[in-house]
Structure 1
Amino acid sequence: GESGTGKELAARHLHRSSPRSDGPFVAVNCAALSETLVLSDLFGHVRGAFTGADRDRAGIFESARGGTVFLDEIGDLPGAAQGMLLRVLQEQEVRRLGESLPRKVDVRVVTATHKSLEEMVRDRSFRQDLFFRLRVGILHLPPLRERGRDVLLLAEHFLPSGHRLSPPARAVLLGYGWPGNVRELKNVLSVASALCDGAVIEPDDLDLEDASPAPEADYHQQLESFRRRLVGDTLKACQGNRAEAARRLGLTRQALSYLVRQLRLA
């Protein structure tokens, strides 16, 4: 997915939903790793392996034992590190720099990129065998501008407790293009909640360039879709128990029953 689409958020959700949720979650931006130290950072080293290596050091894959390692921007991983990562995936082991014997590791590896790895394989800047090993399950995260009513759902998730968006502010969020995707939405709401006068965020509190409200009809359609999804998903999570669903939504049971009829969920 594009930069800012929430790839790390998705990876964290995968970790929390897995049997490894009690283990560590380690996020690594491959594009930010020092080219000279990337192998040491990921795979570790022994004392004397290179100038400045004055002690043994475990790498990220060893340190994350029992958990998940998230490698963001995997397309920026240098060729030598790609080969060593392939060994981690195939053999579940690493060899520290300067060490002859491998060490067993126990981690789940999740990767992400905004580049086309297929094209990188074709121009030989990314290993084909590693690409095939990684593509066991691919999740595409669309840009926020293509996610419709999800903008409001994400906004509610990011808003601090006690804050809410006015209807005009919701319309502005729906009408904006979000070039910075989920990351931009999160930052905009963080600033707006800190600067707004009271608990209600208005359009003037949203620091967005060239933003215009969505058409009124479109806003109401999006709002109804959002409400239908929220209520429907809550009922599903509660296995149809309306009393529990009402409690989670902060509604009376009578108000929930009215919404169910209004949204044609019954």
Structure 2
Amino acid sequence: MSARKILCLGLSEEATLVEDHLQRSGWVVVRCQDLPAARRLLALRRFDVALLVAGTGPRLDAADVAAMEACVHASSPTEWVALCGPGELESPAFRALILGSFFDYQVLPPEWRDLNRMLEHAEQRALLRNATIPPLSNGDTLGMVGQAEVMVKLRRQIRKVAETSAPVLICGESGSGKELAAQAIHVCSPRKGSPLVEVNCGAIAPSLIQSELFGYVRGAFTGATADRRGLIEAADGGTIFLDEVGDLPLELQANLLRFLQEKSIQRVGAVRSTAVDVRVIAASHIDLADAVAVGRFREDLFYRLNVLPIEVPPLRQRMEDVPLLAAHFLKICTAGQPHRVEGFSRQAVEAMAAHTWPGNVRELFNRVQRAVVMTEQRWIGAHDLGLQPADGTAGIDLDQARTAAERDVICRALMRVGSNITLAARELGVSRMTLYRLMDKHGIGNDPAVLAQRP
């Protein structure tokens, strides 16, 4: 991976101290001391992040702010962060510049940990805006985009279960990527050179499921003019993926159980069984244990399938992957086509971060695909994605904007971890007592239902 480069525009004496810290933190720092030099550098090289350090030096007057704004707008692929003295914020023009054109800001003296986190977030958003997020190799991602901890854990589980031939049961909400997980298991397994046959059990008419899965012999029923292999037999030596297995009728569940027990199938109308060597991966968006409890799914079949359980997390549990996925889908939707879409606007990024994604990854792909077709702008907006814009900051001062942002970040963190205070505090980088104090300050409870209703 290439080194992370940052442009540091130092307009005050604190710039040297900041530059030293950035270098110790792993950034390759390119420093300049005035706006003309910054514009020349930005014209020659690409920087994902730029840092303005404006502190104890001369105050930026209206002309300086206008020149700074022109510099920021001319470097649209770059995300800007500001380190500024309290006096700078007294200027309405400078406050408007920060609110309208900068990713974030911090008041001097620097809080190094917060600054590091701020710059990393700015870098990720710059990569999203440019749709050039460096993908991991297929060997690392197994075809599933995402760097969240839950996705790293999922890929680790997939590699483990792929080594065996025991049945796998994949659980997860609709649209979360269960099919991709099944494909990854097959590709990582010793059976990867043999067929992977995918069956959507909910998409086949009940009257046809038996013959589709197990095949039939000539004369078995009207229209059966020749022998035909079923989908299970077609997967001989490889893997069959039974998606939405919970939709199978009870009588077919008995036949599937017999196949799992005896490693053989019997075609419709046949008098003899046929041995097959097939690994079964099943998936369901419903809880099969609950289906067993109400008599909709056979208990013995459930235990046969649930040898190696895997759960694919919903998108709301890995919100940090939304920028990666959005950029990935944008590349897919624009590949090989003339287009003028360059990325996502600031409002679109904020709207995606605020959305709860009930349709998971499938919903995100559909929204990006629709936006690419329908937008008339170079940068996809929130309305192009069919999302409500996140609460804006127009008409409020910088302190109010920062308070609103702090409240919003706390609410989202609590929602992502199911209102677990310890996990939320760890994610936010504060102590539990500090988080309690902040929750009390903003009037935030830890009831998930209440959090989900917050604006």
The verdict on a shared fold, with TM-score over 0.5 as the criterion, is yes
The yes-or-no answer on 1:93 pairing with 2:271 is no
- If you compute each CA radius of gyration, which structure gives the higher value, 1 or 2? 2
CA contact 1:27–1:70 (8 Å) conserved in 2: yes
C-alpha RMSD of the superposition: 2.4
The yes-or-no answer on 1:205 pairing with 2:376 is no
Distance, in Å, in 2 between the alignment partners of 1:22 and 1:167 is: 45
C-alpha displacement of 1:72? 1.3
| Counterpart amino acid of residue 194 in structure 1 | V
Distance, in Å, in 2 between the alignment partners of 1:166 and 1:65 is: 49
Q: Sequence identity of aligned pairs in percent?
A: 48
Cα distance, 1:80–1:156 mapped onto 2, change above 3 Å: same
CA contact 2:238–2:279 (8 Å) conserved in 1: yes
Unaligned runs of 5+ in 1: 223-266
Which residue matches 2:370? 191
1:66-215 counterparts in 2 under 5 A?
66-160=237-331, 164-197=343-376, 200-208=379-387, 210=388, 212=390
C-alpha displacement of 1:69? 1.4
| Counterpart amino acid of residue 212 in structure 1 | A
Corresponding residue SS for 1:65? coil
Q: Deviations over 1:163-197 (max 9, x none)?
A: 53344322211111212111111111112223345
Q: Deviations over 1:67-86 (max 9, x none)?
A: 22111111111122112212
- From 221, 226, 231, give the equivalent of 1:55: 226
Distance, in Å, in 2 between the alignment partners of 1:202 and 1:184 is: 16
Distance, in Å, in 2 between the alignment partners of 1:213 and 1:71 is: 43
The yes-or-no answer on 1:7 pairing with 2:178 is yes
Distance, in Å, in 1 between the alignment partners of 2:225 and 2:391 is: 59
Distance, in Å, in 2 between the alignment partners of 1:9 and 1:197 is: 32
Which residue matches 1:234? none
Corresponding residue SS for 1:150? helix
Distance, in Å, in 2 between the alignment partners of 1:216 and 1:108 is: 50
Cα distance, 1:113–1:211 mapped onto 2, change above 3 Å: farther
CA contact 1:160–1:193 (8 Å) conserved in 2: no
Cα distance, 1:129–1:8 mapped onto 2, change above 3 Å: same
Corresponding residue SS for 2:229? coil
Distance, in Å, in 2 between the alignment partners of 1:179 and 1:91 is: 40
Q: Deviations over 1:109-143 (max 9, x none)?
A: 11111212112222222111111111111122232
- If each structure's strand is expressed as a fraction of its own residues, which one has the higher value? 2
Deviation above 3 Å: which 4+ runs of structure 1? 161-164, 195-200, 213-219
| Counterpart amino acid of residue 79 in structure 1 | L
Cα distance, 1:7–1:88 mapped onto 2, change above 3 Å: same
Distance, in Å, in 2 between the alignment partners of 1:154 and 1:104 is: 42
Distance, in Å, in 2 between the alignment partners of 1:196 and 1:9 is: 29
